[in-house]
Structure 1
Amino acid sequence: MAANSVSPGFQNEALRYFRAWVIFDSLEKVFRDLHEDVKNLKVRLDDIEESQTFINRKFEETRVYHTDLSKLHDDVIDLKCRSMRENLLFFGIPEEGGPDFVDRSDPTTGISERVPNEDCIDKLKTLASQKLDFTENLLIDRAHRIGPKTTGKVRPIVAKFNQFQQKERLKKKSNKLKGSNIYISDQYPKEVQEVRRELWPIWKKARDDKKRAVFVKDKLYIDGVLYKCPDPPVPSANVQAPGNPRGAPKGAHTRKRHP
């Protein structure tokens, strides 16, 4: 046998080791790539966690801001209600024709001044004495019509009383106006009026059921318990959307007076 000859067994062993080395080298490359991918994923996860922290912080700031804004809104409504505490609205009192203000000259000085065309305070005093049997002298700081004049429409009169107690005593006499076109109510901000308008059907049904139902600003109490509106039902696909009933003429609405 030649000295440089290699036995088949040695060749097979060398081939086996070579193949193992190739597999090991491939695996090492795979592991290096995996390690790099894990590092990149960790960086991305860190970025996501940082973004989530930022979002959570901003969400909390927004929640606090919304809470403060809601409280501020409630405070403003409360201040409006307090400013109207001595006010009453009178509906259905006949209105004078002509403009709201006219120019009148003082016969002594000859100076012309712009004055109301209608004495609303005098009309309220006449109403109190003749329709309500109210014998007290009404102490009203000011009274005037609300809104622009419209043909065929009688605007309400808002009156600010000097004394809250007298205003309440006069309001208690308003049941004497039953059957007439005149009625009296407290004045509230627009936001409170809208809530009361939505709750009015509930108030009326409770009264029809002989229950004690009273409004306190924008809250409705039935038999001493605060009424809470139920959650609205989820509309079904076959249910007709609220609005004009089928077959009803458009614009056919019934106007009701709200308390």
Structure 2
Amino acid sequence: MSNIEKLLLDMKRDMDSKFSMIENSLMKMEDKITKNINTNMNEKFEKLASDMNLLKIQTENQEKRLDEIEKRSVQRNLVFFGISDENEPYLTLQGRVLKLIKESLKLNIGETEIECIRRIGKLGNKPRPLAVTFTTLGAKIRILKNKKMLDGTNIYIKPEFPQKILKVREDLKNQQKQELEKGNKAFIRYDKLIITEKNNKISNKRAPSSSPQGTQYESSEKEKRIINKKRLKSNNTITSYLQTETPSDVTTKLPIPS
């Protein structure tokens, strides 16, 4: 082998060694950059997930406050069904309500105990329900105690409920019907279905699919209560988020006599 060939071979080996070093260096840099990017993305995702959870909690608390405000706004309200709708002046309508309460319910309710009266819905062929707000809760309770005195007439009285509670009560009526067909005693109390089973038998049951989402039965010695629950789920990192299947997005009407 000539000196020139030997020199060229040495140069080739030297170049190969340098290329190998450069390649290894680039791979290390790539790994480092990838790790930094993943770490940075995870940190940002954790911050975003934390902010979203905080927003969910704040939104839920706001909804609870609004629900409480709406509940209090109708706390002293009763809805009278079947009172003829003649689109009369307010004072005339108030006088008719007071007369009904006095003559049919045998109660003395004065004008000062009625805060306001309003018709619910648009004028049509049927009498619109009449929502009455009383100045005291006691007046409402006294009327509810005597409402059975209207049995046999076309007039009946129900408490007024917030829109959200009305929807829940509508959904519970189907379950109530099923329980009554089984021979169990069942009645709706605000937004819960109270069930007393035959022979006081205790059993745990899941609410049927037609029930409001998140509803389940809880059993006691004589009763099962249906209670609505909300659950919040969250992922802490983008890695766990991508590795886990993403869940699907969960997405004044007239009071209905029970």
Q: TM-score, normalised on structure 2?
A: 0.66
Q: CA-atom RMSD, angstroms?
A: 3.1
Q: Flag the 1:69–1:49 CA change in 2: closer, same or farther, 3 A.
A: same
Any idea what SS the aligned residue of 1:221 has?
strand
Change (3 A) 1:147 1:160: closer
Counterparts of 2:47 and 2:178, CA distance in 1: 47
Amino acid at match of 2:192: K
1:68 matched to 2:58: yes
- Unmatched 5+ residue regions in structure 1? 1-10, 102-115, 231-255
> In the alignment, which of 58, 70, 79 is matched to residue 89 of structure 1?
79
| 1:214 and 2:188 correspond | yes
Gaps of 5+ in 2: 197-222, 230-254
| Identity rate, percent | 18
User: Which structure shows the higher helix fraction?
Assistant: 2
Number of aligned positions between the proteins: 204
**Is contact 2:176-2:186 (8 Å) kept?**
no
> How far apart are the structure 1 equivalents of 2:178 and 2:96?
34
| 8 Å contact from structure 1 (residues 120, 157) kept in 2 | no
Cα distance in 2 between the residues matched to 1:202 and 1:78 = 26
Partner of 1:135: 106
Please state how far the C-alpha of 1:204 moved relative to its aligned partner: 3.6
Establish whether residue 44 from structure 1 lines up as the match of residue 34 from structure 2. yes
**Which deviations, in whole Å up to 9, do the C-alpha atoms of 1:83-131 show, x marking residues without a partner?**
221110111111125xx54xxxxxxxxxxxxxx3x62332223333444
Query: What's the counterpart of residue 181 of structure 1?
Result: 154
Structure 1 counterpart of 2:24, which letter? L
* C-alpha separation in 1, matches of 2:42 and 2:17: 36
Q: Displacement of 1:47 after TM fit?
A: 2.0
* Cα displacement (A) at 1:35: 1.4
Partner of 1:125: 98
Contact 2:79 2:158 (8 Å CA) reproduced: yes
Distance 1:219 1:17, change over 3 A: farther
Q: Deviations over 1:143-192 (max 9, x none)?
A: 42324542313111111223313312321332343454322111122222
* Cα distance in 2 between the residues matched to 1:201 and 1:178: 25
